[in-house]
Amino acid sequence: MRKLVLTLLFTIILYCGNLFSQQQAYFVDGYHGGIYGHYPMWVTQYMVDELNNHPEWRIGLEIEPETWDTVKVKEGIAYANFKKIAADNRIEFTNPTYAQPYCYNISGESIIRQFEYGIKKIHQHFPDVTYMTYAVEEPCFTSCLPQVLKLFGFKYAVLKCSNTCWGGYTAAYGGELVNWIGPDGTSMLTVPRYACEELEDSSTWQTKAWINSDAYLKACFDYGIKNPVGMCYQDAGWKNGPWIGYGENIKNKSVYVTWKDYIKNISTGRTDDNYRFSQEDVRVNLMWGSQVLQKIAQEVRASENKIVMAEKIATMANIDNKYMPEQEKIDDAWRTLMLAQHHDSWIVPYNRLNGEITWAQQITRWTNNTNEVSGHVIKEATGSYNSGNASNIDNKGYVRVYNTLGVRRIELVEVSLPTSISKQDISVRNTKKELVPSYCEWAGDSVYISFQAEVPPFGYATFSLSDEKPEKSKMLPESFAGNENYTLENDIYKIVLEPSKGGIIESLVAKKQENKEYVDKDNKFFLGELRGYFYDEGKFNSTTDSPAKITVLESNHLVTKVKIEGDIASHPFTQIITLTAGQSAIDFDLTVDWKENVGIGEYRQGENWRNNRRAYTNDRFKLNVMFPVDLPSASIYKNAPFDICDSKLDNTFFGTWDSIKHNVILHWVDLVQKDEKYGFAVLSDHTTSYSYSEDFPLSLTAQYSGIGLWGPDYTITRPLKMKYAIIPHTGKWDHAAISTESNKWNEPLVASFHKEVSFIDKSFLDVDQSGYEVTAFKIEDNGHILIRFFNSEGDESVRRVSFGFPVTNVTEVDLNGNTITKIATNEKSVSLSMPRFGIKTLLLQIEN
């Protein structure tokens, strides 16, 4: 028997040896890191020396571009030595983004700016470096990348992150090459995580491709991959040199290659395998619901919104008034936002930067800078409109309202008036001299006026203030508790709250949708219920366990606002619900005032956080805001950067690292019943996770508390604060314009008071009803205007884009600014066509 076993082993070894001798394996080595992640100053010269010592070695680089500023100052000789070889064919820069973001968790426009600013910074140091392949160490992927990468001049991509899968990985699919098909139809030749590339045994951070092991290569050869390739981007600071050996001792006689050399010269170079990569093929999991990550995500979202709004309003003022913002400050605002989007800030928020403050603390500083600059630019830009050209000298001033979206909007705005305005009734009129619904409020010496503003697409409307008596806000200080239900309603909705069950929504009727009742009254859960598993108590707790008090904060012809006060497991919570006339979104402002840290999650995670089984992954047990709605056989849709994902998941739940599912909500998630007659969308003020299954209603993750990634205790140290909105609607997400509604929620109208200003309305761009979004509108260095469109809801038919200012030339450009084509214009409009989820960037030359 022993002889037979030895014979079999010898046969297997001989087979593998013959197999490997007949077929060649390849390996891509490299470095990942940077001045903010990890990059000791000795690394630069070390790379130069190791490349000199090992001529067969090749490296891919994923180094934060700003790193080279520091290296140049602190290690001038090493910097000069590296600069001499930076464009060598043995080196490939594979991720030039400014701060190595995960991509799936930020806006599409932010992704573009990450590449734009990163490439510019690298070219400041190494002007001859080119970009051919996108490859990363961590799961920095999102479905729209083929289109974005091609527009930046990339030819290839890699979907492996073999050695750093702490935060997730991509789905296993395909063989040697695939055509990665983006949501808009763009195709990019890509090395996938092979279908045979399994997750590593006894590891929760690697796939089997990380070291070109015997088992990995055999699996590849058996699958029919003729030229298998492995990958490991080492952390900058590791002193390993060539990762799998050098000289005659390279593992399995693998050959070091760069990605561009491998794909262009070694691989088959083409394929018929079209991989329609879904956002759900990005299998990622972070500490969703933890207090620290929630705050980071909220801060990043707010800054993303403010900086693009500042650029848009500044450009309007530039066209009208020649206002020029300080570009250095805008660049710095983008810089600090991009650093806040760094993948490390999201996966290791408690780590310290340079041994000082934590990532989380630094992100607050970074986003505060972005917000301060954005606010300053908006104030300057709107202030540039102050003039003596007012047409009505008998009024108390003017309010100008700016709309940064390409659709006409009718929404409520509030503006603070100067203290010089006396405490008397003030009315609002539009440029047609029509009285606009409004009301005033006084708080001490401050005067606030709220009114319903109708504003043209991508422009502004002006309103005059005068001494007339409007309909005032009628405050109703009544409170309701116990078994007495309370009804709040407006022109669109009728909502019944049940205080005896913690203030849950007992009924939600959409008046303009054939009085559709959205509440699933047969469900064991309740609409608006907060529910989570408190593992130290060993049970689920819910806001329905105790009664709540309901207080009417405001009730008038424009706004109905109520406050719900209750508790969950003795911890007080408040939830403010706001109905606004003419607005389809119902707003919620939630606060849970935790008395102390409590454990919330599936169980108390011990020191074994690296184990495959994890307490912080199954969102069913986290504190959830629940939305059980009556939508039979429903489907889930969710937005992603420059994409909308049609979910194919039966459920969102998983409890182990090797079974991660994509349960991420970027801006919104939408539940649509099978016949597509009705739907129910949820908007979130931050990137987080959602839950859904046949026996579990659509829910938004609100809180997790316990040990998590990298071992720290993700504790509760302050109140939970989050905002969300719901939109009951007819039709699918595109018919209901959910992306547009989300954009309205994220880019609210901006109102400014002017003592004197031209009493006019203006639209700079009219793309109303086209399904196009304006993601960027900014001033270029040469004085031209850059506009970027994203087709989020429209089809491929030709659209007419009208300009409200004289345009002499229109050029479609790629994301590097290179001309794609000249577009015919009659000085007032152009015709555009692009596929759904396509993006187009136009450069406008305007009359001086």
Q: What is the DSSP letter of 512?
A: T
Dump pLDDT digits (tens) for 767-804.
Answer: 867 799 999 999 998 889 999 999 999 999 999 999 99
Specify whether the CB–CB gap between 151 and 176 falls below 8 A: no
Q: Chain-centre distance of CA 811, in angstroms?
A: 29
Give the Å distances, CA to CA, from 719 to 624, 630, 716: 15, 32, 8
What's the CA dihedral at 122, 123, 126, 130 to 10 degrees? Answer: 90
Average pLDDT of the segment spanning 717-724: 98
| Measured distance CA(293)–CA(688) in Å, rounded | 9
Phi/psi of residue 767, nearest 5 degrees: -125, 25
| Measured distance CA(790)–CA(181) in Å, rounded | 18
Q: What is the DSSP letter of 290?
A: B
Specify whether the CB–CB gap between 519 and 507 falls below 8 A: yes
Query: CA nearest 102: which of 151, 152, 179, 164?
Result: 164
Band the pLDDT of 847: cuts 50, 70, 90.
confident
The pair of three-digit structure tokens given for residue 542, joined into one six-digit string: 């819910």
DSSP assignment of 179-218 equals EEE-TTS-EEEEE---TT-PBPTT-SS-BGGGTT-HHHHH
Specify the 3-state DSSP secondary structure of 94: coil
Average pLDDT of the segment spanning 566-577: 98
**4 pLDDT above the threshold of 70:** no
Band the pLDDT of 137: cuts 50, 70, 90.
very high
Spatial CB neighbours of 613, under 8 Å, sequence gap ≥ 6: 655, 656
What's the CA dihedral at 230, 236, 240, 244 to 10 degrees? Answer: 0
Average pLDDT of the segment spanning 127-143: 97
Average pLDDT of the segment spanning 625-649: 98
Specify whether the CB–CB gap between 495 and 488 falls below 8 A: yes
Query: CA nearest 590: which of 727, 745, 726, 722?
Result: 722
Most confident of 405-419, 460-474, 659-673: 659-673
Specify the 3-state DSSP secondary structure of 599: coil
| Measured distance CA(816)–CA(43) in Å, rounded | 30
Q: What is the DSSP letter of 783?
A: S
| Measured distance CA(422)–CA(445) in Å, rounded | 9
DSSP assignment of 298-313 equals HHHHHHHHHHHHHHHH
Dump pLDDT digits (tens) for 472-482.
Answer: 544 444 555 55
Class of residue 602 by CB neighbours under 10 A (exposed 0-12, middle 13-18, buried 19+) = buried
Band the pLDDT of 388: cuts 50, 70, 90.
low
Specify whether the CB–CB gap between 26 and 265 falls below 8 A: no
Phi/psi of residue 520, nearest 5 degrees: -85, 100
- Residues facing 835 on adjacent strands: none
Write down the pLDDT at residue 425. Answer: 74
Query: CA nearest 808: which of 793, 791, 827?
Result: 827
Residue spans of beta strands (DSSP E) within 104-175? 133-134, 156-158, 168-170
Q: What is the DSSP letter of 518?
A: -
The secondary element (H helix, E strand) that includes residue 111 is helix 108-125
Average pLDDT of the segment spanning 616-629: 98
Spatial CB neighbours of 86, under 8 Å, sequence gap ≥ 6: 125, 126, 128, 129
Write down the pLDDT at residue 22. Answer: 61
The pair of three-digit structure tokens given for residue 289, joined into one six-digit string: 């619901």
Write down the pLDDT at residue 468. Answer: 76
**One-letter-per-residue 3-state SS of 235-287:** ECCCCCCCCCCCHHHCHHHCEECCHHHHHHHHCCCCCCCEEECCHHHEEECCC
| Measured distance CA(721)–CA(237) in Å, rounded | 39
Write down the pLDDT at residue 480. Answer: 58
Tell me what the pLDDT averaged over the chain comes to: 93
Specify whether the CB–CB gap between 308 and 775 falls below 8 A: yes
Half-sphere exposure of 633 (CA within 13 A, CB side): 4
Q: Where are the alpha helices (DSSP H) in 342-455?
A: 343-347, 359-383
> How many degrees, rounded to 5, is the angle at CA 837 between CA 834 and CA 840?
50
- Residues facing 636 on adjacent strands: 671
**5 pLDDT above the threshold of 70:** no
| Measured distance CA(327)–CA(332) in Å, rounded | 8
**82 pLDDT above the threshold of 70:** yes
Write down the pLDDT at residue 420. Answer: 73
Dump pLDDT digits (tens) for 17-28.
Answer: 444 456 899 999
> How many degrees, rounded to 5, is the angle at CA 299 between CA 659 and CA 781?
110
Write down the pLDDT at residue 336. Answer: 98
Band the pLDDT of 353: cuts 50, 70, 90.
confident
What predicted TM-score, i.e. pTM, was given to this entire model? 0.96
Query: CA nearest 835: which of 108, 182, 188?
Result: 182
Band the pLDDT of 14: cuts 50, 70, 90.
very low
Write down the pLDDT at residue 782. Answer: 87
Write down the pLDDT at residue 481. Answer: 56
Dump pLDDT digits (tens) for 294-305.
Answer: 999 999 999 999
Percentage of the chain exceeding pLDDT 70: 94
Residue spans of beta strands (DSSP E) within 569-695? 571-580, 586-592, 623-627, 635-640, 643-646, 664-665, 668-672, 678-684, 688-693
